[in-house]
Structure 1
Amino acid sequence: MDSPADEARQPPASVAELLGALDRIDESLPKRLKQCAICLRGNLDRVAVSTVADMAQLADVPPSAFMRFCQTLGFSGYSEMQALFRAEYAQLRPDYTERLSMLRAEGASGAGRLAASFAEAGVKSLMDMSNELDGRQLQAVAERLAAARTIHLIGLRRAFAVVVYFAYLLDKMGVASMLHHTTGQIESDHAIGADDALFAVTFAPFSQETLTLASRVGARSIPVLALSDTTMCPLGDVAEQLLIAREVEVGGFRAPNAAMALVTALAVAIGGLRKERA
């Protein structure tokens, strides 16, 4: 009798194929792998931005079990499966009309209920960030930015609020900064000098404009520091340090609670370092 792994030797070429393969082998999966299957179906939008440890925690299984689950589906491991989801991430995430419909279907569209849900998600995001925070890495980012003549900031779409607030805090600290926003598709990276540094923020699905600017700046040997919601962010290829701030969702909506906390800490730390060196 063939095992589930035998039935899924070839990795699926699309998420649709993956789900079809999962349907065929679902009944024959051991208990822990079945938990992984249930978790995967219920969190398709999270795979592209989550680590194997994150998904294993959601499934309430050890990471090794989730790895075996990926191999059962025909992948060499979690990274290969995640690459498939990353390629289709934009299509998997529902648009805002669909997200609101989902909230209404769940009976969670009232303003009071939504406020409570977002508050709970915010607390969870902040606690997760605090538990996973690498203080030495954050300090290294603060010191690198504090040493820059001017701190350049880029973050578009959902990340825009984060860099705007960062710029506001830096201004209050008396730290020179410049916000890049690509208005009119004007490329302003010529303003970034050799003594400067770039802080780039992008969350999945990633902003190509942000990635392009970071790549051009990094190619000039100018320090690039970055913030994202996944270690798989392409900024990791050009940034000296990549900070991670994951947000808990409410019906597909994500408020940048952890990201705001991180840039606030950075701004205050940078201000303190500048005063020490004055």
Structure 2
Amino acid sequence: MDAVSAPASIEELLDRIMEVSDGLPKRLRQCADYVVANPDRIAVSTVAEMAEAAGVQPSAFMRFCQVLGFSGFSQMQRLFRDSYIPAWPDYSTRLEKLRQSGAGSPSALLAEFVEAGRLSLETLTRTIDPRTLDVAVKALSEASMVHIVGLRRAFSVASYLAYGFEKMNVPTMLHDHVGKLDSHHAIRAGDAVIAITFAPYSAETVALAEAGARAGASVVAITDSLASPLRPVTPLLLTVQEADFGDFRLLSATLSLAVALVVAVGTANRERQNGI
């Protein structure tokens, strides 16, 4: 294989893996499959740990890095360390951090969270790719049914999207996994899936997105990083980076994005129905 330059971003790296993976030998393909499925592990693992998890020798994993254009594992790891999102502490730890910071009165807390929300919204305007957003809106507006999944912290966003689309007369199904019911068989070709998940990522949400892609549905992902496990599922990746205060993350930017999607898709549907 001819020498290639090292990818300059996580997005370029994942794109390159997808381009070359079909032609890789078995052991290097194992490395590719593991990296795509577990990008969050690269920033915090040694090459020996990555190799063991992928079921190969460290030398094979090093060769895989070189095939991608890196001098070795360390160079590839630097891409992920810059955007690494560690596991968030439990709520008791977060409350203790707030106490130690001297957050003070409820009104002071409110001011801090408002400021964090403002920062999140400003970041959103810089990070959302308008072309990706346009394609996502087109896919959702042309879908026979929009399936929505977002669990845990993302559930409020998923619920709002389902509510908003229903008010806009957009056929919608909310997959809430109540009773651990799996409704992925309801997804058909011509449908669309909105999958929402943030670190630590929901395996159920990723699984539904993958099922939607296999069924021939368009998949729109709302997530927080290009290293998200939704990245290999769809090119329609809308990344939202929420600011936090005291390790409590807001949803200001994510909900603003959700409102924009509801209005844009509802407007596109209405225009198509009226022949505009």
Q: TM-score, normalised on structure 1?
A: 0.69
**Matching residue's letter, 1:139:** D
How much has 1:184 moved relative to structure 2? Answer: 1.2
Cα–Cα, structure 1 residues 221 and 109, in superposed 2: closer, same or farther, change >3 Å?
farther
Identity percentage of aligned residues: 39
Structure 2 equivalent of residue 227 of structure 1: 222
Measured at CA, do residues 81 and 131 of structure 1 come closer, stay the same or move farther in structure 2, by a change above 3 Å? closer
- For the residues of structure 2 that align with 1:164 and 1:80, how far apart are their CA atoms? 31
Task: Tell me, yes or no, if structure 1 residue 121 matches structure 2 residue 120.
Answer: no
Distance, in Å, in 1 between the alignment partners of 2:81 and 2:216 is 33
Cα offsets for 1:198-230 (capped at 9, x unmatched) = 000000110011011111221222211110011
How far 1:171 moved relative to its partner? 1.1
The residue type equivalent to 2:214 in the other structure is A
Equivalent in the alignment of 2:247: 252
Question: Does the Cα contact within 8 Å between 2:148 and 2:194 map onto a contact in 1?
Answer: yes
TM-superposed deviation, 1:94:
1.3
SS of residue paired to 1:184 = helix
**What is the number of residues matched between the two proteins?**
204
2:131 and 2:82 mapped to 1: Cα distance? 28
The 5-angstrom pairing of residues 1-278 of structure 1 reads: 75-77=74-76, 78-79=78-79, 81=81, 89-90=86-87, 93-278=88-273
Contact 1:125 1:248 in 2 (8 A): yes
Q: Deviation digits for residues 38-59 of structure 1, max 9, x if unmatched?
A: xxxxxxxxxx6xx9xxxxxxxx
What amino acid does structure 1 have at the position aligned with 2:247?
G
By how many angstroms is 1:80 displaced? 5.1
* Corresponding letter in the other structure for 2:79: S
Cα distance change, pair 108–224 in 1 and its aligned pair in 2 (3 A): same
Cα distance change, pair 270–82 in 1 and its aligned pair in 2 (3 A): same
Instruction: Tell me the amino acid that sits aligned with residue 79 of structure 1.
Output: L
Cα distance, 1:146 vs structure 2: 0.3
In the alignment, structure 2 segments of 5+ residues that lack a partner are: 1-39, 44-69
Distance 1:250 1:271 in 2: 34
CA contact 2:195–2:219 (8 Å) conserved in 1 = yes
Distance 1:263 1:101, change over 3 A: same
Q: Is the 8 A contact 1:218 1:238 kept in 2?
A: yes
State the secondary structure of the residue aligned to 2:198: coil
Assess, with a 3 A threshold, how the Cα gap between structure 1 residues 82 and 206 changes in structure 2: closer, same or farther: farther
State how far apart, in whole Å, the 2-side matches of 1:172 and 1:155 are: 19
What is the deviation of 1:76?
1.5
Q: What are structure 1's unaligned runs of at least 5 residues? A: 1-47, 52-70
- SS of aligned partner of 1:234: coil
Counterpart of 2:11? none
- Going from structure 1 to structure 2, the CA distance change for 1:151 and 1:109 (only over 3 Å counts) comes to farther
Query: Is the contact between residue 100 and residue 109 of structure 1 (CA under 8 Å) also seen in structure 2?
Result: no
Is contact 2:184-2:212 (8 Å) kept? Answer: yes
For normalisation by structure 2, the TM-score amounts to 0.70
Instruction: In structure 1, give the amino acid aligned to 2:75.
Output: S
Moved over 2 A (4+): 79-83
RMSD of aligned Cα (Å) = 2.2
> For the residues of structure 2 that align with 1:82 and 1:131, how far apart are their CA atoms?
18
Secondary structure at 1:76 match in 2: helix
2:24 corresponds in structure 1 to none
State the match for 1:61 in structure 2: none
